[in-house]
Every structure is written in C-alpha cells, then in structure tokens.
Amino acid sequence: MTYARDVAALARKDLLLELRARETLPAMVLFVLSTLVAFRFALPGGGTERQTIGLLWVAILFTSLVGLTRAFVPEREQRVLDGLVLAPVDRSAIWFGKVTATLAFLVAAEVVALPAYALFFEGLTWETVAAVALADIGICAVGTILAAMAAAGRARELLFPLLFLPLSLPILVGGVGAGVGDDPARFLAFLGLYDAVFAILAWASFEYVVTE
Amino acid sequence: MIRARGLERRYGAKRVLRGLDLDVARGDFTVVTGSNGSGKTTLLRLVAGLASPTGGELSVDVDRAQLGFVGHESLVYRELTAIENLVLYARLYRVPEARERIGMLLERFGLWDARNERASTYSRGMLQRLALCRALLHEPSLLLLDEPYSGLDAEGAELLDRELAERRARATFLVATHDPERLASLATGALAL
C-alpha cells in the first residue's frame, strides 16, 4: 500500500509538471498527427491493410520515442534524481511512477491518433486496439529504464533511440501480427509475454541504473 | 556513525579522494574544508550513498530516512511551487502532520509568502532556503551540508546559523564549507582535504 502511494505521488508529480510545462503531450500529439498525414500522402491510393497497419505501428513507436526522450528531462536538468534516490522509497517506485505518467501521455496521444488513422486509412479492429494497449505497457516499461540510462550519458539523444529501437522490434512484430495475422490471439499473447518479461526486468534493475 | 578507511574515489584517471580516514561519532559536528576540487562534495556524496567508493571502506550507520542532504543543487522541481515540492518530499519521507511541518519550515525560512510561486521564479538564495527546508523536513539525524551558506544573504545566513545551533544537540553534522570560522562555535572536529 505504501509502495502504491509512493508510485501515485511520483506519477502525480510528473502529470503536474506536464500540466505546467505542456512540452511532452502536445509534441507527441502533433508528431503522430503529422506523421499520419505524411503517410496518407505517401500512400495516395490508401495502401493495403498490411501497409497501413505497419505505418500505424511505426507512427506509434516514434511518437513514444518523443515522449520517452523527455521522460527524465526535469530530473536531469535540475539533478532532482539525487533527491528521489535519497528518499527512503523503493527505488523501483521511481521507475513505476515514471512508467505510469509516460503511459498516460502515450495513451492520450493515441486517443487522437487512432481515430485519425481510422479517418485517413480504414477502420480499426479490436485486435489492433488490444495490441496497442498491450504494446503501450511494454514500450513504457522498457523505454523508461532506457531513458534513465541514457539520461546519465552525454550523447543521450543519440543513445536512447539506439538502445530503444532494437528492443522494441518485438513490439512491432507483435503489433502488426495482431492486426493482420491469421491468429491474432497468438500475437496478443506474445505482446503480453513481452510486457511481463521486460516489465519485471526493468522493475528489478532500475535501482542499479539510478545508483552507481 | 560514519567510518571511512583508506577511502578513495576516482573519476576516470582523476583521483579525487585518496586514502581518506574519517570517524564521525553520533552528535559530532564535523567541518570539512579544502580548496576547490579537493573532494569535499565527493566525500558528502559518498556518505549520502549518491556515489560509490572506488577504493577503501566506508560505513554509514544511518538509515536513508534519517539522512538530510543539501548539495550544490536544490533538488527541487522548478515547475512546482515550494509547497508542491515539499508535499512530494513529505510523502516520500512519510512525514507525519506534513502540512503543519511544511508551513512551519516555510515560515521559519522566510518563504511563506512565496509558497505558491513556482521554484523557477525563485532567486538563488530562495532556492537555497527551499533546499534547506527540503533537507530538514523529515527531522534527519544526520545532516550532510555542502556549502549550505552558498547564495544566502545576510538574513538567510543568520537564519541558518540559528537553525544549526538549535539542531546541534539532536543531530550529527558533516558540513563542507569555505568559511569554517562561521561554524567554529558549533564544530567538534575538522577535516582538511
């Protein structure tokens, strides 16, 4: 219960920071909309279902990159991470709070992006929506710990995508497979397994990332 | 409370601390002095657990919940107000009757009137006062203060003098400073790096 309260306090802080600064969510929404518009012009005939679903997933992945790159900016710029690390909380709560806030931003961007995709290309199936929901968890779980690692480095804008994109390839495979594959349930299960494995790994290893 | 033997810290090829021995007993007030780059900040970060030694031994017999740290940065979010920052830390430190305690500290450090302003609008001295409020919020038994007078005006420095004198009997202090004379009446020991 105490752990949940710590996570809630840390996530609330991130949401409040975003409410004040309005830097991350507007950037994500504008990015995903402009990407979908660009794709629409890149495929004048509308494209096949396989093509458009693939583009949707590319748009989602790169939109998450926009949000995750900024995930630890307040902590890095003002060195507040030291203050959080010193606090007598389980350090994984810092990761969990950040995942919760990042997930909220990504879902908010998708609330705009998915209807836009349906408008520009074709209707969404429940399998795709379920895959997006599952993928969001994996993206934020993995992306948050990698963002924390990259925040400590100098070439962080370069380092983060280099670390994140290879690890997110299974999400692309699972997401596209769930949308156009013959057996969506198998791909959804694959995404669920990815979430479970990587969330546990990230949760357990976050302490080593934020301490030397 | 703090025991170091042959403590060493390197950053790449640069050795910042070399073979440092240190004993700080409960209730001590130890002043750390030294020129820029002598390792004062590094020592405090090592004791706080924010960095790890690259050699030697270091034991700090105090729980994280009982440690108060003031470093070169205020460790507060600039887009949050003073109240919001302190409420966040009070939750993380599980401070009982947090609202009252936050109000008392803000009053004492002269920040009450600016409590609902974002920290980004604060001057350097106000940020330092807020950092002191943050560090004292949970009544720590070990205070690690790195240049605590930095940025404070005369009034702020006097406030801090009074605060340290008042807490002198119930906490242990390790204070890095360029002005050891100011703390001479409180100090029980000194370490020159």
Residue B165 lies in a domain: no
Closest approach of B192 to chain A, Cα-based (Å): 26
Closest approach of B134 to chain A, Cα-based (Å): 9
The answer to whether residues B86 and B121 belong to one domain is yes
For residue A166, pLDDT over 70 is answered with yes
Contact B77 A9 (CB under 8 A): no
What is the domain range of residue B133? 73-140
Over residues A171-180, the mean pLDDT reads 93
Contact B71 A84 (CB under 8 A): no
Quote the percentage of chain A above a pLDDT of 70.
Answer: 100
**What ipTM did this prediction achieve?**
0.91
Residue B149 lies in a domain: yes
CB A207 within 8 Å of CB A149:
no
Residue B67 lies in a domain: no
Give the confidence band of A196 by pLDDT, cuts at 50, 70, 90.
Answer: very high
Which residues of chain A make contact with B65, given a CB cutoff of 8 A? Answer: 88
Closest approach of A209 to chain B, Cα-based (Å): 12
Which residues of chain A make contact with B88, given a CB cutoff of 8 A? Answer: 9-10, 13
Out of A16, A79, A211, whose CB is closest to B80? A16
Give the confidence band of A212 by pLDDT, cuts at 50, 70, 90.
Answer: low
Residue B166 lies in a domain: no
CATH number, domain at B183? Answer: 3.40.50.300
Give the confidence band of A140 by pLDDT, cuts at 50, 70, 90.
Answer: very high
Window from A111-125, A150-164, A179-193 with minimum mean pLDDT: A150-164
Residue B91 lies in a domain: yes
Closest approach of B72 to chain A, Cα-based (Å): 10
Which residues of chain A make contact with B76, given a CB cutoff of 8 A? Answer: 78, 80, 83
Number of domains in chain B: 2
pTM: 0.90
For residue A4, pLDDT over 80 is answered with yes
The answer to whether residues B115 and B155 belong to one domain is no
Which residues of chain B make contact with A78, given a CB cutoff of 8 A? Answer: 73-78
The answer to whether residues B77 and B136 belong to one domain is yes
> In chain A, where are the structural domains located?
2-210
Give the confidence band of A116 by pLDDT, cuts at 50, 70, 90.
Answer: very high
For residue A46, pLDDT over 70 is answered with yes
Over residues A128-135, the mean pLDDT reads 96
Give average pLDDT by consecutive 10-residue segment, chain B, 193 residues.
92 88 93 90 93 92 93 93 96 94 95 95 95 95 94 91 92 92 90 89
